[in-house]
Structures are given as structure tokens and as C-alpha cells.
């Protein structure tokens, strides 16, 4: 039996990226009669055949609800679901019993907002967020501030798109009770020094929430070493199915937090007089979960592990350098985010061309990129622009695709005059 490409390359320690690319069926299709160039990976990643087969196999052979039946299918489904939790815990370098499975980063951050922040914050307290946050790490804190009387303060960035660390540390006053920060910016690609930031916050008695959505696809995670209190991630950006993700939190915080949503499976006993809640992490996992999705996520993380996250990061750095070099040769093109440490994300504009117009013309040439504000309105306001074009790469992209993308971009610019 032929081994998956990822396993073969891991054993040889020399990834064959062209062979790995063949594991992704969607990358072989055409769009508008042109070979697809998929550069929208920060939005969602493509899925290898192992993930598709795992989801399909679950529905064909194991489909049953978890933790609710003693029959064989129920046991198999539960084992598969809890196995995915263990796989995810290894991927994040955390304990499985501190990992709440949920629909993604947005849900995870809201869980922290309503189960930790709402009971603990009060009038006069400060929630500190960075300028580069995704709306999912801004809006929940605004809602909590409105309900508690706390206020939101902003940690600013520098012109190159990196955090102004000196200003951030000065902003860590005794009034700040919570700091929410992205590990990697979804617009700028900036990799924030979250370990250093969380160390400073801990000394100041500040609880930290790290949004890991854009970090998990690009680098090996050691959440325990980061030293944060909460870490959120999403599955569909790491080659897994949509509707999957997780919140890691310190066990003592999870034990003290009330449930976010009530229902089945998050309880031990229910009467009309009182309810006894389940153990952590299950007390935060009400209702029937996305079982097949998590089976697929487990397969995705096994796939990435077989390649090696260090190899993936090196490959993407190589692609990023090539893309950046090519874009810098285009007159009138401005890149947003030039921090020294970046993930493979490039947001840019070209003088005289609207981002949406360019994206529409690129699509006619089979190129998929993101245009707009990328769920980061305050960040684009800082740069004084209404929208940008974003090209985001993954390890299965190629240097040839970069050349094709740049050629299509130059053609689109010409058509726009």
C-alpha cells in the first residue's frame, strides 16, 4: 500500500512539496478555464485527501452520537472524538483535560468573555486589545465592557505593522485586568512575541487571551511555554473541517468559570431544583458536537505532523520571500506590514486600482485572493485605507503559482488603466 505523501516525506526528512500538493484535490481544478491559484489560505485552508476520507469514513462506518450510548457505534464515535482531542492537545503542547472543543476561535473567545470576563470585570476595569486584532477579538470585549462598565483601551502598532511593545508595556496599568492579543495578524502577517508579552502581563496581574487562528497553520505551537491564560484556535485554517476549534485555558480558571451554554452532556445531574455540572472540559461542551469535523481535524493534524511544522514554516518563509520580492518590483504597489517576523500573508494596494476591482479581474484568471477589510476595520483605519488585497500562502503553494499570480496582477492593473 502506498504511503501518504506527508508520511513519505517526513521519513526522508526532505519534503517533496510537489508530491504533497497532489494530496489536495481542489488544487487541481480550473476556475474560469484557468488553473486555480489559491492564495486565500488565511481565510480557510484546503483539505488533503486524508481529511476528506476521515470525515467520509466516519459517516460511512461510525456515525453515532458521543457519550450517549453503550452500543458499539456510540463507543467508536466517542473514542474517535476524544482521540481528536488528544491529537489536538499534542499539536498545541497542552493537556487534553484543559482543552475545550468548540466551533472555532470566535466561539472560544466568546466563551472567555462570558464565562470569565463577565463575572470578574467591573466598572473602572480596563480591557486592553491591540490595534491589529480581528473583530472576533474586539467585539466580544466591547459587549462585555458595555455590560460591566469596564472600558476598552487600544495598544497601538508601529508603521511597519509590529506592535509598539514599549507603549504596550506602559499601558499595563493596575486598571488593566485582561489583555487580548493576536499571535499572528491575519492582515499583516506580523508574528507577535506573545511569550514576552504574556510574561510581562503575568507580572502585572493581567489575564491574557491569545488568538492563535493565524499562528496554528504556520508554526509549531507550544502554548504551555507561551504562558498565557487562554489560547484560542480554529480547525479550518489548519487543513481541517469548518466548525471545529478549541479553547485552551489554565485548569484553575476553567474550574472556577461557570458554563457558557446549558444543555445536554455538560451536566452530571439535573432536577427542577438544581443542576450539577460535568467535569472540565465537558461542562463547556453542551449539545451534540461536530463529531465528524473533529475526526477530520484529528486527521489534518496527523497529516501536518507527518510533514513537520518546522518544515512547513521554512517552506512558507521561502514562498513569502519570493512573493514579497516580486510585488516590490511593481511600481505604485504598497505592502502593509513589513515587520521582521512575518507569516506568509501579504496585504497590499496598487495606486489607482481598487482592491475589489483587482480581485475581480484576478478571479477571471483563476486567482483566488481576498479583498476588503479582512474583519479588521480599526487596523485599516490606522493605515488610512478602505480595503486591501491580501495574498496568503500555504505550504502546498508553489513558486510557479507566485509567478502566475504576479503576471495576472500586472495584467489586471493594465486593464484598469
Which residues are catalytic, by number?
A: 375
Q: Are 369 and 359 in contact (CB under 8 A)?
A: yes
DSSP H helices, 174-290, are 194-203, 223-226, 251-256
Report the distance separating Cα 378 and Cα 180, nearest Å. 15
Long-range contacts of 58-66 (CB under 8 A, 24+ apart): 58/291, 58/292, 58/295, 58/296, 59/292, 62/295, 63/292, 65/288, 65/291, 66/265, 66/288, 66/289, 66/291
Cα 232 to Cα 226, 236, 292: the distances in Å are: 13, 13, 20
DSSP E strand boundaries for 274-401:
275-277, 333-336, 345-350, 367-368, 370-372, 388-392
- Look up residue 353 and give its DSSP letter: B
Tell the residue number behind the cell numbers 470525515, with chain if given: 55
* Residue 124: CB atoms within 10 Å: 11
Rg value, the chain, Cα: 22
Q: Are 142 and 178 in contact (CB under 8 A)?
A: no
The grid cell for 19 is: 508530491
- Edge-to-edge strand list for the sheet holding 345-350: 333-336, 345-350, 388-392, 370-372
DSSP count for the chain of H helices, then E strands: 16, 17
Residue 191 φ then ψ, to 5°:
-95, 110
Four-residue CA torsion sign, 37, 368, 55, 242: positive
Angle (CA) 183-102-221 rounded to 5° is 30
Report the distance separating Cα 314 and Cα 7, nearest Å. 18
Tell the residue number behind the cell numbers 473541517, with chain if given: 241
* Residue 155: CB atoms within 10 Å: 24
Amino acid at each position: 500500500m502506498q504511503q501518504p505523501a506527508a508520511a513519505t516525506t517526513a521519513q526522508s526528512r526532505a519534503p517533496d512539496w510537489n508530491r504533497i500538493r497532489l494530496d489536495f484535490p481542489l488544487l487541481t481544478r480550473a476556475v474560469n478555464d484557468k488553473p486555480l491559484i489559491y492564495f486565500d489560505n488565511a481565510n480557510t485552508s484546503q483539505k488533503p485527501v486524508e481529511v476528506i476520507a476521515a470525515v467520509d469514513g466516519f459517516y460511512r462506518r461510525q456515525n453515532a452520537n458521543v457519550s450517549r450510548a453503550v452500543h458499539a457505534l456510540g463507543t467508536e464515535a466517542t473514542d474517535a472524538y476524544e482521540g481528536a482531542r488528544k491529537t489536538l492537545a499534542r499539536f498545541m503542547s497542552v493537556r487534553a483535560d484543559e482543552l475545550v472543543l468548540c466551533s472555532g476561535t470566535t466561539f472560544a473567545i466568546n466563551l472567555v468573555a462570558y464565562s470569565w470576563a463577565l463575572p470578574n470585570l467591573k466598572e473602572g476595569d480596563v480591557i486592553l486589545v491591540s490595534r491589529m486584532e480581528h473583530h472576533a477579538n474586539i467585539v466580544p470585549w466591547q459587549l462585555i465592557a458595555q455590560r460591566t462598565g469596564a472600558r476598552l483601551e487600544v495598544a497601538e502598532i508601529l508603521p511597519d505593522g509590529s506592535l509598539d511593545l514599549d507603549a504596550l508595556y506602559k499601558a499595563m496599568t493596575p486598571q488593566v485586568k485582561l489583555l487580548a492579543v493576536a499571535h499572528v495578524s491575519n492582515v499583516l502577517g506580523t508574528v507577535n512575541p506573545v511569550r514576552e508579552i504574556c510574561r510581562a502581563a503575568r507580572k502585572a496581574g493581567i489575564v491574557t487571551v491569545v488568538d492563535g487562528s493565524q499562528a496554528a497553520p504556520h508554526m509549531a505551537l507550544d502554548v504551555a511555554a507561551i504562558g498565557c491564560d487562554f489560547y484560542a484556535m480554529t480547525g479550518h485554517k489548519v487543513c481541517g473541517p469548518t466548525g471545529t476549534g478549541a479553547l485552551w485555558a489554565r485548569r484553575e480558571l476553567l474550574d472556577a468559570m461557570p458554563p457558557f451554554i446549558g444543555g445536554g452532556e455538560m451536566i452530571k445531574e439535573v432536577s427542577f431544583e438544581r443542576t450539577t455540572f460535568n467535569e472540565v472540559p465537558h461542562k463547556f461542551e453542551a449539545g451534540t458536537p461536530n463529531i465528524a469535523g473533529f475526526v477530520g481535524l484529528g486527521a489534518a493534524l496527523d497529516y501536518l505532523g507527518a510533514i513537520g511544522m518546522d518544515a512547513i514554516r521554512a517552506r512558507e518563509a521561502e514562498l513569502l520571500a519570493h512573493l514579497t520580492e516580486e510585488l516590490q518590483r511593481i511600481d505604485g504597489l504598497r505592502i502593509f506590514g513589513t515587520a521582521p517576523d512575518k507569516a506568509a500573508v501579504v496585504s497590499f494596494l496598487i495606486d489607482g486600482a481598487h482592491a475589489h476591482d483587482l480581485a475581480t479581474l484576478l478571479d477571471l484568471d483563476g486567482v483566488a485572493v481576498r479583498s476588503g477589510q479582512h474583519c479588521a476595520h480599526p487596523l485599516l483605519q490606522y493605515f488610512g485605507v478602505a480595503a486591501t488585497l491580501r495574498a496568503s500562502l500555504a505550504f502546498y503553494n508553489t513558486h510557479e503559482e507566485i509567478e502566475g499570480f504576479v503576471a495576472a496582477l500586472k495584467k489586471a492593473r493594465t486593464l484598469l488603466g
